[in-house]
Structure 1
Amino acid sequence: MSDKGEYQRDLNYIPDRITADGRDGWPVEPGRYRLIVARACPWANRAVIVRRLLGLEPVLSMGIAGPVHDERSWSFDLDPDGRDPVLGIERLQEAFFKRDPDYPRGITVPAFVDVPSGQVVTNDFAQMTLDMSTEWTAYHRAGAPELYPEKLRDEIDDVAQKVFTDVNNAVYQCGFARSQEAYDHSYTKLFSRLDWLSERLADQRYLVGDTITEADVRLFTTLVRFDAVYHGHFKCNRQKLTELPVLWAYTRDLFQTPGFGDTIDFPQIKEHYYVVHKNVNPSGIVPLGPDVSGWLTPHDREQLGGRPFGDGTPPGPPVESERVPAL
């Protein structure tokens, strides 16, 4: 928290990477690593989507923590006996402490865990999805989209940084602000960027180029949570997403694209934010709304052209154990 009451995210994550050449000591190997996520978390949701789109399910297993955690860690309360069935741990904290018994920072998802040793490899959410696209190519499914094409990387990086600073993180800065000045600044920054995004997307289907890229994944996970939690819970209330015609249609377009909406669990999302953030919602009451049936209504964005998967194909249906409740 800054002197002015502005929420400041700790971006010091474990920097190790899983790479094709294993230069950090963690070579890409089928079955060796487990991706730990929580359906509620937008940062983890990115990794879930990218893994689905690239078809890495057969070589990279996924553990799903429950939506509610305490100050110690995310826990595996959704699993039988409250333990991850592969790692055998009750809390993600255990994997961090195996790596460093004195680990001093927050226990965050997503995280890659080395199954043989039980140690966390990295929780650097921004790099993890890029590496899934660029380092795991030998195991991408046939027809996997190119989410981080080399010729567009500078533009993707630029847009993604704007989205992170002014949207992904700004909603939290609104919600956790400790002064009117800090809240006003974050609110203005957020909606100015949403206006900019609306203008950018008014005549193009996707953020960069004519196909889905990493930039779209990063924006989607915030927008899909906007009306359910950020509008009310975090006071991001100039408009709802449903009142921003371009962004509402854009987000519905992605939601209805295989690999996006089929990763979203609205009940878990709401339970996490409204129960865990006691400083924002002391009662712990989880709202029944909003109505989510609109997510499946026509968006008409295909009129703008674009090819969601480029020369590739959509992913198949989620594996049975990873399905979310249908709307």
Structure 2
Amino acid sequence: MHGIHTIDTGFGRPSFDAAYLVVERGRGAFIDTGTAHALPRFLEAIEAADLEPKDIDWVVLTHVHLDHSAGAGQLMQHLPNARLAVHPRGARHMIDPSILIAGAAAVYGGEDIVRRDYGEIVPVPEDRVVEATDGFAIDLAGRALLCLDTPGHARHHNAIHDERANAFFTGDIFGLSYRELDSPGGAFIIPTTSPVQFEPDAAHASIDRLMRYEPEAMYLTHYDRVTDVQRLANDLHEQIDTMVAIAKRHAAAQDREQRIAFDFIDLYVDRAHRQGVTLTTAEIVKILEVDIRLNAQGVIVWLDRGSR
């Protein structure tokens, strides 16, 4: 639809981590790159769109968390004419990913695990990196892709507005919506508050900023296209406030991460069942278990930052 091709990067499990190829009049732009393991899928997407690697003009990153950016360096090696657009706060990490790798290694248990999960993360030459400041406009064969600074999930986050499709590529600022949780009530969505830069006020403001464009659809990294965006935006606002309240309630507990995670389970499962999701509690938790853990950790980082 509108020349937008969804690429399942294969990270984690099927239909979990998406990137996109936007095609306009024989030219292409990738939005996010998944992991380095996904490189063959990107090359296959180029061929399936009747393009060649030389026809790709841009690789655009919503932010530099590794499930969105780890494959950028290797992908750029195959795209002779492409430039990489990234938020100014993220640009240095594409040119020299050593800090990014070290940070991930500290979280996940070592560089070997990072390499196993995300592949070999290589630098992007500095002269091919463009800092996409707020309002930076990409011209893709006459098709406007507008980068908007949208913090809340991360301070180096852009959402990309596609004028032709009247839609956003939202990275993680418009939450997570897995297709297994679709129901007669529509798509089910939760916020992502994963470490380390969750900021509720900024998240609310960024969601509102996207909605002022009255988009017809959102293209999520996790996962794919959703519509009925006003309802989903309202759901995200409500849940952010509830999750913040849960975090504050357990702030002083010794086992606060566990308590917060359990309350998040209750929140998400109750909302899913009220929306018409027919999966059992255990089935819903299995789909969301990684995000529940990361969301609990993220609100704790936010709590601790506020207490310092």
TM-score with structure 1 length normalisation?
0.28
Q: Which has the higher strand share?
A: 2
Q: Larger RCO: Structure 1 or Structure 2 (Cα < 8 Å, ≥ 6 residues apart)?
A: 1
